[in-house]
Every structure is written in C-alpha cells, then in structure tokens.
A and B are shown apart, each in its own frame.
Chain A
C-alpha cells in the first residue's frame, strides 16, 4: 500500500513534470463498471440486420431503435444460438464460447481517456488456430455524432458487411468499411486494438476500408492475464489527430468492442452491441474526470 502511494506520487510528479507522456491510470477499484455481454455474432452483417425477412427487428431499426434497446438483455442467448449453428452460422466451431461477460470501466483526466476491459478467459474450443500469434485480441471502436449511417443505432455493425473478409464467399482482401467512409468528412470509426501475442497496441480506423495503423491518439495499450482473468487498459489522448475521434467533456460517443478469443480471426469474434460512452455525461459507460 505504501509502495503504491509512493509509486503514485512519483508517477503524478513525473506526469506533471513531463506534461503527460506518463499517463496516470485511475484507481480502477474506484471506477464504476458496466457489465456488457460480448456474444458470438455468426453471420449477421449490416445487410442482414436490415433485412425484414431475416431479422424481425429490421422494422424497429427503421423506426430508429437501437440494437441494444431490444437485445441487451439477451445477448448471451443470441450467442448460444449462433455459436451452436442453430441460427445464421453456416460453419459452427464445436466448443466455441457463445458469449463472454465483460466489465468495461472508463475514466479521464482532462488529457487522456483510460478504458479498461476485464473478463474471464472462456474454455478453449480446441479448434485450429486462425491467428496462431495471438491467443486473444481485443478492440474497441468510437464514432462521433452519428455521421456514419446507423452508427447511433447499430454500433460496430455499421462497419460489418456481407462482403467483408471471412464472411461466406467474401474476398479475403476486403476489410471492414463504412458506407461513404471518409476520414476528412468525419465518417469513420476510430479503432483501437491490443494483441496478446504481440503484446502491442494498434490505433487505426474504419472508413472506406479498415487500417490498423494510421491513428495518432493511442498512448498505450497494456494487457495481462492473472490466472484466468484478463484485463486490458487502453490510454488514449482526448485530443485527436487524423483518423481519431476527438473526445470532449460533456459529449457521448458511439462505442462498441470485440474480443478475438481462442486464436480467432475475422468474423469469428465476440462482439458487443452498440453503446454510448459519455465523458462527464450520461452514457451506458460513463468516463468521469478523476
């Protein structure tokens, strides 16, 4: 405890001294978290969720409802249907986890946003490794102002298409994208990812295509596994460069995240529905100033 205090004090002094290079993460035990279920989504791209003959909620979506309005309580059950191949999954992976309960915490200090994801490692499926370098990857995306069509309602689904790679029959070179994507016009998702094997953070974006590098806001991404429990903390500047969403106090942003568990790649991930991250304002996840 005493050591922590000293370390904290030194850290704070350094932070003041260097003007931010060493960001001071908050005391996570004091930051309220939001429990969000990341579920296995099968083949449910943006085109599918809007198709009334396939998705009963297409009408609700047209009326302006969000995915979470209808599905947040049943995300785990949906994951079960898809992971088992009962619904919209043509190639189910035996033993694949249906869903992962994740705790999401966020805070800021006027300069940086700190966001922490923690979850329990699900049992491995034993299936062939799609990404043999990285047992686990976690990514989150931010969108500002609903400039991307359906971003306010559908979270990351606005980037997920039927012709994106690993979708059935899709070209392997085609990445995620958003309709009319343009960084210059603000029509993009700001993307952050941490990869366990490489132990490296990425800061890219999804506009007319997805790039993993090209953002400028990421300060650090650190993950660790304690027993079966993962925790990953991203630190990013509130200020933004090209390809970043600028974060301001009093505003809420579209937010979603995904975990590639079990050496997964492409669409074989677990995803959250679309939520709001509020900075000092209401949101499903609230990042208060520390």
Chain B
C-alpha cells in the first residue's frame, strides 16, 4: 500500500513500516522515492531545472530529518514539501556536466534510512552532451649571459649554425578537445612546437625550421566505427605492421563480439618523427603505406579461432639515415599479403598464432630488374601451466615456442625491421615459485640460407638462463648466464678456415635493494667472454676479448626536499691479440686493455618547496687504453636554479625565472686537445592555460 503524505502530518494512516529484521539492522532500509525529476541520467539544456521527487512511503519518514543535497551542497532550507512531493528550484544556474542529487532522511524512530541518490547532466551546447576545448601554451625564452663557445670566424669554415644561440625561444601549444553525444565521440589531442633561435653576426636568426613539429590525433568514434586522423598507431600482424606509429589515418569497424567480424583500413606515411609536418597528405618525397585487414572469428567463442588477412602496399618504404632509422633496406615499391590465425584455448592458458606472408618489391622502378618476390612464415605456441604445489606454494610455468622463416627476397614495406634470409626457432620458459623466478631459453637461427655463394652461411645458437629472487625487504638478486655460439656451415674461400666462428659467454649478476622511500641501491657486474675461433695470423685482426663491467647506483632522499642519485660504471675491455701499429710503422699483435669510467650525478633540492628549486645533473667519463690509442676525459654538467614566481609578472597562468649554467670539458691526450666551455643563461618560462 502506498500513500502520499505531507511531511508535516500523516494523513491516511499508512501502514507503519515493518520492524526491521535483525539482519537488516546493519544495512538501513532504503528511502523509497518515485517520480524523480529530472529523470536519472537525463540530459538537459536548462540550467535551472526543477528538481523534485515523491516519497513512496511518507509514513516511514520523519520529516524533520529530511535533507536535500545538490553536488554535496545542502539546500534543505530552500526545499518545499507538499503532499509528499519534494521540490527544489535552483536559485542560480547549475554548472554544466553531471549533477548529483541526494535525499536523506530517518524513520520516525530516528533510525537513519539509506539515502537516495540520482544524477542527470546539463549540456553545454544543444548539439552535444559534452563539449570542451582546452589549451596550454608553454613558452621558454632563454638569453645567453655567457655563451659556451667563441663564435667561429667567417674564414674558419665552421658553421655558425652549430653554435649556441644568443637567444632561444621555444614554445609548445597543447590543445585537447572533446565532443560527445550519445554513442558519438570526437576527440582532439595535439601539440604544436615553435622554436626560434637568434644568433649574432652573419646569421642573426637560425635557418632551422621554426615550426619544429606539429602532431595531432583526431578520433571520431561511434560504436562500432572508429576513425582516427593524425599520429596513429597501427598493429596488424607480425610481418605486416606489428607496431606502426606514423602520420596517417585509419578506419576500424569492430563487430567482433556481435558477428565475429572486424575490418581495418589504414593509410600512413613516414617522415613525421622529425621536422615540420603540420598537414596530412601524400607527397612525392614521402614514404606511403596503404593497407587493409579483415579479421573473422567463425565460432561463437570468438577466442577459439580468429582468421586474419592483411594486404599492404608501400611506396618508397625507406627512411633516410639520420631521420629516425639509420641503415635499413629500402625499396621503391612493395606489396605484402599475409594470412594468419590466432587461437586461445582453456581460458587463455594455451595460445597458438600462425602467419604466412608473401611479398613483392622493386628496389628501383626505373631499371630493368623485375619485382623480387618471396615468402615468410611464422608459428608461435605459448601456454601457462600449474606444476603443482611445493611447500604449500604453487609452481607455475609459462612456456613459448616460435618458429620463423623469412625468404631471401622477402621485404615488408610496413616493417623495415624484418631480417630476410633467415630461419630458425626459439623456446623460452619462465617458472615461478614463491619468490623465485627461473627463466631459460634456447634459440637457433640460420642466416644466409640462400644459395648466394659469396657469403658464408651462419648458424647462431643461444642458451640463456636467469635466476631471480625477490624476497620482501631484502636485496633482490638476478643472475643471468648466456652462451651464444656462431658457426658457419658454408664458407667461401675468402673467409678462410673458421672465418666467422666464435663463442660469446655472458655472466651477469644484478642486485637491487629498496629501503623504503628514502633509499634504494642497485649494483651489477658482468663478464663477457668472446672466444674467437679463427686462426689469428699476421694479416688477421681480432682475437679473444674479455669485457668486465661493474655498475653501482643509489637514490638517496635524506630530506623530503632533497634527492641525490649518483651512479658509477666501470668497463674493462681486455683484447688478447689486438693489431697494434708501433711508432716505427710496424704492425704487431699485442694484448691491449682499455678502461672506461663513467659517473653521473643527479641532485634535486627544493630550497623553498614549490617556490625555489635547484636541479643539478653532472657526468664525467674517462677512457684510456694500454696501447695509447685512446686517452680522453669528458666532464659535463648543468645546474639550474628556478624561482617559481606564480603570477608575479601578470595575473594569468604561471611564470618561472631560472638561472642555468652549462659546463663541458673534453680533454683528449692523443689528439692533444683540451676544450673547456661554460655557458650561463637567464630563462623565463611561461605557462598560459586556455580553457573554453
């Protein structure tokens, strides 16, 4: 029975609420309301909507205990209660976005009822449920009080472009936006950098691109479709495009859960990681990649089998050395088609994936050589298995096996990292028990498997094992052993007997120890033994090499405002039979030891928290060899004192003033050169937010 009642008096003799059950004493009965206005989840344009609710059981409510909150603000004094209906008319505009209404009350006996709460949204614009645009302009103006290098003379031939500028103006505008209406969402995430440098004399301004980089990602989504334009990330297949982060666009249709089909089309281009590239478009000088993928899951359990087909076409799939990738195979035109499967069984405990890919490519479209074509394939099986209990703790193992073959003339226009003319397999297993992790693996690969007679065919095998312990509050050691064997099973005469055979063995021990937030320590040491199997003659260079290395570092926070992190590394390279040229010009084989010390220090000190900061980073390195071919020392550092002045200069955003000094010294005893540079800079940093 439901009665509508006024809060002041019960009018219809409604049934008294039933006595709460003992179990319910811990969980209060909910306050029953009906006809909430605005309805829960409703989208409104009205900034001052009438907020109302009707009590379902007024007799069970003590009207004196009634409270109403809007976004946590108590508005009970402005609430009207008539005939069991609570109404509240906001006296001012409510904020855009999601608003929360909460009504609380207690029963007649003073027993608190569980409050009722609901939410609705107030739109900013009529067309969109949510809309926002915000920007942050970060600007740094740097003035050299003392430049670290003397300006080269006009006749020296040294470019002034390489010199430190007198003034440096660097800016980054970050813009983020969002539009949302129901299932439709559009997002913008972008950064635009503008750098300008000012130099004296012949070239008052830099000739570098001032707009350093503009990157952006615009995403439009309406389930099941996703379209992205800008700096996209594409992952399709292994030989195809396992991980592409490039400028471009892609469209995805994902109906995998409904009908077991997913479609993906993409078009990208290179040359976006550095340089000025604010627009999207296909230009002659750029490497272009266009492709599409289809994924079909034929069974109701989508994970049992997924079939994957991919086709990509590339144009000028090369990247110039020095852009972001140095030294890769290039091609004028290429195409790749691949087919693959992926399956997961036993709730994901066993996974199998396969892929076969066919490629065609033409290194030079203008010559008479036709396209080269070849294939590659790969299969991977991995599984997780519990091996039982040992001393009341489970032992689990994760094992993976992979076989791959890549043909001599296989080139993927979408994956320049694929190594052609290679076949082999690898196995890896990780077994964990309590604090112990044991990893081991074996791999064997054969390179130059084609019938090219000018190169030796190489078989490389690797054994690897690592044992790690992670005891609580104690040092965590990891010991690694690795043995790599390289042998040829065909050698051209020019390579001589055992021309490329060798064994490399690595022993490595690392220990890390965290002592709360104030101290963490790490130490490591390794020995790498290179055993050259060649017959070393007077005309051969090389021989056995032993490399010793140790490294130690710690992070210390003696005060809450001070952090110090020194690090030291020592390397000794012991070459047993190195070719040495004597002062007389004669060449002999001799044992040569080269030692290198590298030390770094990072210090962060908040002199006045949030206001005055001191940051120091310094490093030094020294290398010397027993044959006197190397003997140099390098010291460098930067120290920066930053005064966060808030809005001191003008009442907008944040400003900071900094004084920075750079130090760099290089002493080369072999070349008889000693370069000493010190620079001092005054810097103004500005942060200007723009929110719409």
Q: Do A and B come from one complex?
A: no
Interface residues, chain A, CB within 8 Å of chain B?
A: none
Residues of B within 8 A of A (CB): none
